[in-house]
Chain A
Amino acid sequence: EAQVTQNPRYLITVTGKKLTVTCSQNMNHEYMSWYRQDPGLGLRQIYYSMNVEVTDKGDVPEGYKVSRKEKRNFPLILESPSPNQTSLYFCASSLGRGGSEAFFGQGTRLTVV
């Protein structure tokens, strides 16, 4: 089954404690991206990757890092989380450029206290 898998689904952490949210896709897609979703603000792109070892900033990259060492994985790293990073995070992958027909993961709800 074609899918994008994020882990964990829910996470409560403390300010400053480094964390990683993993994302894996089994569709051999080249394009992957991370979004955060906040009430009233919709989905905002954090980082995206057009292929292995190619990443670029989206609209809200501050406080986040990503890596794309393999095609299937695109982890999101918060080196020093802060409460304003409390949000619902989605990973997505797509075969085409520019996120066309993107498949989204189920989401990771992160709370930073």
Chain B
Amino acid sequence: GESVGLHLPTLSVQEGDNSIINCAYSNSASDYFIWYKQESGKGPQFIIDIRSNMDKRQGQRVTVLLNKTVKHLSLQIAATQPGDSAVYFCAETNQGGSEKLVFGKGTKLTVNP
């Protein structure tokens, strides 16, 4: 069935380092992928998205990479800051199909000063 998973449930980095958060998805029909950030006590917040006709998209300090061959998604955060500490979720959907949004279980990122 459809599922989105993460390779690591926790990630700890030093302030200033780059962070890479990984995500595997299983539905080859998914054509739209999103990364969300959730801080403690708050709802998820959109970070960046990518459509299946792209393999890379850059935002401010964040980059998402999509490898459709191995069904893998990653979020790269440059110069990680303490404010980046949160749980990060990837999500997938098929905008041309059911449009259900399926979330991964999340990776907790901790930034050490």
Check if B12 is an interface residue, CB within 8 A of chain A. Answer: no
CB within 8 Å for A43 and B34 given contacts A99-B91, A104-B43, A106-B42: no
CB within 8 Å for A48 and B44 given contacts A99-B34, A100-B32, A100-B34: no
Within the complex, the shortest CB–CB distance from A104 to chain B, in Å, comes to 3
Check if B26 is an interface residue, CB within 8 A of chain A. Answer: no
In the bound complex, residues from chain B placing their C-beta under 8 Å from that of A103 are 46
In the bound complex, residues from chain B placing their C-beta under 8 Å from that of A44 are 103
| Binary B-proximity of A38-67 (CB < 8 A = 1, otherwise 0) | 001111110010100000101100000000
What 18 additional pairs, Cβ within 8 angstroms, besides A35-B103, A59-B100, A98-B95?
A: A31-B99, A42-B106, A43-B44, A43-B103, A44-B103, A45-B101, A45-B103, A48-B100, A58-B100, A92-B44, A96-B95, A98-B93, A99-B91, A100-B32, A100-B34, A101-B46, A101-B49, A107-B42
